[in-house]
Amino acid sequence: MTNDESGFALRDATVAIIGLGLMGGSLALALRAKNACRRIIAITSNAATREQLRARNIADETSADLTRASSADLIVLAAPVRTIIAQLPRVGAIARAGAIVIDLGSTKREIVRAMDTLPAHIQPIGGHPMCGKEKAGFDAADTDLYRNAVFVLAPLERTTPATVTCATSLAASVGARPLVLDPARHDKIAAAISHLPHTLATALMLTVDEIARDDDLTFALAASGFRDTSRLAATDVTMMLDILLTNRENVANLLRACAHQLNHLADSIADGNENALRATLERAATKRRELFK
């Protein structure tokens, strides 16, 4: 592997993936399908997943021992956000000199802050592929999960251009579109387009469930509209807890802003204010059609 100003040869690298759930498993599948790197080391505590990885020849080595990543050129942390933060000191203790460490966590500020404490001989860079499913675990992994997705890269001040090149190569190799972004800006945007929708789906699910307690036909009548708008409420709870608790201010502020919009809608409906209601609905409908033609 080369790791200098001339760039990073991913095809010659050993990549260790720590965490083989949806994101880490999909990354391993995509790297193997594209023959994008020299070796893949898969590290997961799930024995059944390790067996699948071996049986399907997805990884060259599998282990439950994080120290097996010590020989890797590129270490990918693919776990819930607070687990990644907890893993970073251990990774810093075992990673070889010159190794690059990237994560796939859904929030960036706290991870990047923790990465900055890694030893000087390790090159860190934050990462977040803007894709996923409400299902978790290796069984939900998909070779094409990253295809055409934006893959945010969040360099630290200490991150070298060669490391950014490495991360860009990793993203491109699995069909994603790399985008360098400041961690704070990422978290503010992600709160709006990812974390807020989840909390709204949660509120929707709980509100309708309360109605269903009094009328057992409620869910029997539910069709595609309810299914589509409530889908995110089924997202892995541990993952979402980590996301919400490491992006608290942004999400809380947006929920309050959304509550203002809901109150405005409620007032227009309760007052029978057709003109105000039409204007609100048309503004939202026009923007949605512009974005997703």
Q: Are residues 38 and 89 in the same domain?
A: yes
pLDDT tens sequence across 85-117: 999 999 999 999 999 999 999 999 999 999 999
Tokens of 221: 């009548």
Q: Structure pTM?
A: 0.90
35, 50, 230 from 107: Cα distances, Å = 29, 27, 22
Task: Tally the domains of the chain.
Answer: 2
Domain-terminating residue out of 160, 181, 202: 181
pLDDT of residue 6 exceeding 60, the answer is no
Domain-terminating residue out of 130, 153, 181: 181
Q: Are residues 52 and 169 in the same domain?
A: yes
| pLDDT of 8 | 58
Q: Are residues 177 and 228 in the same domain?
A: no
Q: Are residues 201 and 243 in the same domain?
A: yes
Q: Are residues 164 and 23 in the same domain?
A: yes
Question: What is the distance between the alpha carbons of residues 143 and 26, in angstroms, rounded to a whole number?
Answer: 5
Q: Are residues 28 and 159 in the same domain?
A: yes
> Residue 228 burial (CB < 10 Å; 0-12/13-18/19+)?
exposed
Q: How far is CA 121 from the centre of its chain?
A: 27
Residue 278 belongs to domain spanning: 186-291
Q: How far is CA 106 from the centre of its chain?
A: 4
Q: Are residues 53 and 101 in the same domain?
A: yes
pLDDT tens sequence across 191-223: 999 999 999 999 999 999 999 999 999 999 999
Q: Are residues 206 and 249 in the same domain?
A: yes
Q: What is the 3-state secondary structure (H, E, C) of 101-134?
A: EEECCCCCHHHHHHHCCCCCCCEEEEEEECCCCC
Q: Are residues 265 and 165 in the same domain?
A: no
Specify whether the CB–CB gap between 226 and 211 falls below 8 A: no
| pLDDT of 135 | 80
